Structure 1
Amino acid sequence: MKIPGPEPRPDGGVGAIARAGGLHAYQLWLHAEFGPVARFQLPGAGTAVSIADPVLLEATAHLDERPERLFSFLDPLFEAGNLQVLPAEEHTPWRRLLLTVLAGRPSHERHFARFAALATGLADRWAALPSGGPVELQRELTGLSLRMICGYALGGEVEDPDAVVEAFEVVLTDYLERLYLLPPEQTADRRADRTAQALARLRATVDRVIAARRPGRPDDRSDLIGALVEAGEHPARIRDTVLAMMLAAHHTTGVAVSWTLHLLGAHPVETGRVTEELDRVLGDRAAPDHADLRHLPYLGMVLRESLRRYPPGPYGARRTAEPLTVGGYLIPAGAVVFYPFWAVHLNPAYWPEPERFRPERFTPEESAGRPRLAWIPFGLGPRGCEGAGLATVEALLLLAVLLKRFRFRPVPGHPVVPIERFVLRAADDIRMLVSPRAA
């Protein structure tokens, strides 16, 4: 049985995706038009099979290879080979090391006070702004998230986090403009120079972070650089891993918290429930302890619902090693399987009224019986995000600190439009009016 999908076009699918506004939006149209399994032209990977049904995705959850061409936009960032497409025999021990560093609850607890101090420092700075002043959430929160991951896993501080975030944006935007044949804002020569300068800035930052590293305690398993050295990794791979960690960690947490505050700003009833919970659990304290997070279930549901509506990574992809049958369709060996995370999260068969913001979807009662892959903001299978647990802890802490102290309202007339920039972010940031709750 032939897999349904649009007719192939000479441009390799670039035009259709660009007209849709990006691959994040195209996937929604694709599955609304052709059903839960659809083939389409994926720029950089030829033809792909996209699967938006969580039950059908189970047949692909074991896949452990990524299509190299699709992730080639990250090639310029790395010296020793693109870490996103390492073959399984290299990826498995590398992943195991990252999980050892990032997934340990004792390390999360040990660093929690430092995270809280950084979050409280940001809140103090916002409190000094003119009452009701606008804040650019993505810029502020991705910069803070970058400082958090550098302090946690890299043993040091990063200078000028805003400049580092901007440099990542320059490199990724350059790739996407080339991939989708978008008209650049600058001439080819100036764009190339700007991208080269951004790459140089990123590599210099990584070198400074490594040189300034403060080794952790002997029992502190969060020392990523120390773990890489102990594992015998060569210097280029260590630098690449640090850069990959900085890229992934600051995007996911900062963007996720920004979207959550954006959603709450438009939903006062849900905001009221969050603040009531925070007041009850924290009392007069400005920040939670690590143990408090277990007593903030509604805040956790709010975050999960926000990650459903705006997953930081809107899609992923794998390559089949052997033929697979999915939903009655045969997918050949060597094919690209596309994971449309956003379309999965908005599948009305599993999420009634999918566009509606309703944290109660994640109560134990409503979650019972829902397929496990219906909610996959951190990916799935052996290539899923190693830092998912740490990112969740950081996000809950930031939300608790900020919502305990402030009210967030949208800036009138400022459009918030999701775009694809390696993560699902807002085109012109998420600007909100921030004022003390007591005011």
Structure 2
Amino acid sequence: MNIPGPEARADGGAGALAAAGGLHTYQLQLHADYGPVVRFQLPGAGEAVSIADPVLLEAAAGIDRRPERLFAFLDPLCEAGNLQVMPAEEHGPWRQLLLSALAGRPSHERHLARFTELVTGLADRWAEQAEGAEEAEQAGEAAQLGRPDGAQRASVALQEDLTALSLRMIGGYALGGEVADPDGVVAAFEDVLTAHLGRLYDAPSADLQAAREERADAALTQLRATVDELVGAHRSGGRTDRSDLIGALVAAGERPARIRDTVMVTMLAAHHTTGVAVSWTLHLLGQHPEVAERVADELDQVLGTRAAPDYADLRRLRYLDMTLKEAMRLYPPGPYGARETSEALVVGDYEVPAGTTVFCPFWAVHMNPDYWPEPERFRPERFTPEEAAGRPRLAYIPFGFGPRSCEGATLATVEAELTLAVLLKRFRFRPVPGHEVTPIERFVLWAADDIHMTVSLRG
């Protein structure tokens, strides 16, 4: 049986993708129009097959191969070969090495105090802004600032601040050092990715592409210098603790180029994922104050007068955990993944030929109404044990699945829940009036003009 999908286009599908507003929204449209298994043209990968049904997706769960062309935009970050497409026999041992550093509970507990210090530092800065705005309001200055309701509130750019926080966290935890200029590193990563994603998803003029690549070269030099500084500081300290990433790589005898590549890719993945997940969660809580109040009540009950949880408290914050999961269902930080078949693959009534790019559209899976009634509704109760038990295991895959799933998923969850607990214990978040939040594809599921929210002290 032929796999359904749109007619082939002379432009390789680039026009359809652009018209949809990006690959993440294109996936939603394709599955709405053609069903759970769709054949479509993907710029940079030829023809691909996308699977949005979690039961059918099981057929691809064991594939440990990624399409090289689709991940070529990461080539500049890797000197010893693109880590995202390394062969399965090499990937397995490397993955276990990463898991040994990133997934261990003892090391999470050991680093929690530093994480808390970093989050508290951001909260202190936001509190100063909120207190200043309240003082201005009390002094009667708000009316002069143009707000028709006569009130002024501190406004923060969530993704800007929280991705910088995430980078500081991963610098301290996995890399064994503090990143000196997290904002500069974030901007440098964006320059590198913009230059190379541009080749995949748009057709810039020669001058524009040349300018992008010039900025990308300078940014890559900056990134490598940052990584070298972290690795050098680690070696000079004589640390071989396998609970941090560099220590694990050194202890395993990895060559210097592979250490640098692993550090670079880890910084990229980690600084986006946690900050973006927390940002979307706060965005949704700002739109649903009744859910935010329930989270705050749980925090008060579990923490009492303490400003931050310890590691054991995180397990007791069950409603906070459900809220984060529901936010990542609606806005998965990485909206899709991809595999490449090495042999023919049977998916339901269809046969996918060997050598085909198989797309795993996390967002479309998470919005599948067969498994998520009223999928666009924000309802954390979907993740009670009773409701979760009734769904297929791949119905919820914010960190991917199988042998190519995210090695840092457990660490990212600890970081995100700690960050949310500290911030929601202290603040109320509300949308900035008139600010439109539009999801876009920028390596992760980003917001086009950040997520601007007002913050006020809970008192």
Q: TM-score, normalised by structure 1?
A: 0.97
* 8 Å contact from structure 1 (residues 177, 184) kept in 2: no
**Alpha-carbon deviations, 1:3-50, whole Å to 9, x = none?**
000011011111100110000000000000000001000111110110
Q: CA deviation at 1:197?
A: 1.2
Q: Which whole-Å CA distance do the structure 1 matches of 2:414 and 2:457 have between them?
A: 24
> Which residue does 1:322 correspond to in 2?
343
Q: Which whole-Å CA distance do the structure 2 matches of 1:53 and 1:370 have between them?
A: 11
> Which residue does 2:277 correspond to in 1?
256
* 8 Å contact from structure 1 (residues 311, 377) kept in 2: yes
* 8 Å contact from structure 2 (residues 109, 311) kept in 1: yes
> Which residue does 1:83 correspond to in 2?
83
Q: Which whole-Å CA distance do the structure 1 matches of 2:321 and 2:436 have between them?
A: 27
1:221 aligns with 2:242: yes
SS where residue 347 of structure 1 aligns? coil
Q: Which structure would you say has the larger Rg?
A: 2
Q: Which whole-Å CA distance do the structure 2 matches of 1:368 and 1:95 have between them?
A: 29
Q: Which whole-Å CA distance do the structure 2 matches of 1:189 and 1:248 have between them?
A: 26
1:20 aligns with 2:41: no
1:312 aligns with 2:333: yes
Q: CA deviation at 1:327?
A: 1.3
* 8 Å contact from structure 2 (residues 345, 354) kept in 1: yes
* 8 Å contact from structure 1 (residues 30, 38) kept in 2: yes
Q: Which whole-Å CA distance do the structure 1 matches of 2:207 and 2:287 have between them?
A: 36
Q: CA deviation at 1:415?
A: 1.2
Alignment of 1:15-414 (within 5 A): 15-129=15-129, 130-131=132-133, 132-183=153-204, 187-213=208-234, 220-414=241-435
* 8 Å contact from structure 1 (residues 150, 156) kept in 2: yes
* 8 Å contact from structure 1 (residues 216, 222) kept in 2: no
* 8 Å contact from structure 2 (residues 439, 447) kept in 1: yes
Contiguous gaps of at least 5 residues in structure 1: none
Q: CA deviation at 1:118?
A: 0.7
The 1:182/1:271 distance shift into structure 2, 3 A limit, reads farther
Aligned AA (1:228): L
Aligned AA (2:116): A
Aligned AA (1:126): W
Q: CA deviation at 1:78?
A: 1.1
Q: TM-score, normalised by structure 2?
A: 0.93
Q: CA deviation at 1:125?
A: 1.0
Q: CA deviation at 1:183?
A: 4.4
Q: CA deviation at 1:181?
A: 2.2
Q: CA deviation at 1:213?
A: 2.1
How many equivalent pairs are there?
A: 437
SS where residue 187 of structure 1 aligns? helix
Q: Which whole-Å CA distance do the structure 2 matches of 1:284 and 1:181 have between them?
A: 52
208-217 or 386-395, larger mean C-alpha shift: 208-217
Q: CA deviation at 1:216?
A: 8.4
Q: CA deviation at 1:274?
A: 0.2
Q: CA deviation at 1:187?
A: 3.1
**Alpha-carbon deviations, 1:384-421, whole Å to 9, x = none?**
00000000000000000000001111111111111111
* 8 Å contact from structure 2 (residues 39, 48) kept in 1: yes
Identity of aligned residues (%): 73
Q: Which whole-Å CA distance do the structure 2 matches of 1:112 and 1:149 have between them?
A: 12
**Alpha-carbon deviations, 1:171-208, whole Å to 9, x = none?**
11222222222547973432222111111111111111
Q: Which whole-Å CA distance do the structure 1 matches of 2:87 and 2:250 have between them?
A: 21
SS where residue 433 of structure 2 aligns? coil
The 1:41/1:148 distance shift into structure 2, 3 A limit, reads same
* 8 Å contact from structure 1 (residues 341, 377) kept in 2: yes
Alignment of 1:5-16 (within 5 A): 5-16=5-16
* 8 Å contact from structure 1 (residues 312, 424) kept in 2: yes
Q: Which whole-Å CA distance do the structure 1 matches of 2:411 and 2:319 have between them?
A: 19
426-435 or 62-71, larger mean C-alpha shift: 426-435
Aligned AA (1:389): T
* 8 Å contact from structure 1 (residues 149, 246) kept in 2: yes
